[in-house]
Amino acid sequence: MMANIRVKNKTNLVCANRNASVLEYYTSSLIHDKRSPMIKAMKHKGISDIIAVLLLLAITVAGAVLVSAFFQGNNIFRPDASNPGTQSASVKIIGYDTRDGDDLSGIADLDNALGAPIPYLRTNSTTPNNLPTDAPEGNEFIVLNVRNQGINKVVLQSVEINGVEHSWDQNTANDELILTSYPDDGKFSIISSSITGPFIQSPTNELQRNGEARLVIKLSSDITPSIELTQPIRTRIITDLLDPSAIIISSGGAR
């Protein structure tokens, strides 16, 4: 009898040879009928699943790259990393000496004259460029310890003290900080953070990555009145990067 069965297509052949059930027959017919709407829907669903998986993989990879770049300080998070002026400020004040006394920041002969009867940091002398202990007396000094916590070197353009900018004194470059060589009124010089001398003033106003230095500032005559001790001093380091917020330190102290 099996030999007399006329096989019209592959589906019927499967059914005839295997003595398949009705369910198996229709299932086989459905699978082999590529024009079936159900088969088309299944194909489309399969393609959608593949696209979804690929999108998830792409999102995962992109997220990993962004997280890695963030922790490595990559320029991808800066709108214009080629322009230093768009990078965030990185110079921090980590210490200071604003005493009205001798050996500021441990530097011999870097002295302020004790004001009387009320101690103060003199900023309005008639001979501002003189040393504070000379006669006639000159404007006094403060020292700021700074650190560059950024990933690039910075240019220390000026130091703002109580709203008055103090620029870098180029005339101090490569000179030892002694009684005959120090910054002029309203200016600053840069020396090493080392506590041992000689204290050679920096030939440049650049601060390298992870670098530390001390800024020796001769207070400007434009700061009026003179700064009484225990009074706040508003300081701000201005660089070629974005300027940071002002830091308040106390006059008459050291840290």
Q: What is the pLDDT of residue 49?
A: 78
> 30-34, 115-119, 221-225: which has the minimum mean pLDDT?
30-34
Q: Is the pLDDT of residue 208 over 80?
A: yes
Q: Which residue has the higher pLDDT, 20 or 125?
A: 125
Ordered by start, the domain boundaries in the chain are: 2-71, 84-250
The 10 Å CB-count burial string (b at 16+, else e) for 84-122 is: eeebebbbebebbbbbbeeebbebeebbbbebeeebbbb
Confidence class for position 71, pLDDT limits 50, 70, 90: low
Q: What is the pLDDT of residue 61?
A: 87
What's the whole-number average pLDDT of the chain? 80
Helices 10-18/22-32 angle, 10° precision: 160
For residue range 137-157, list pLDDT tens digits in order: 999 999 999 999 988 899 999
Confidence class for position 220, pLDDT limits 50, 70, 90: very high
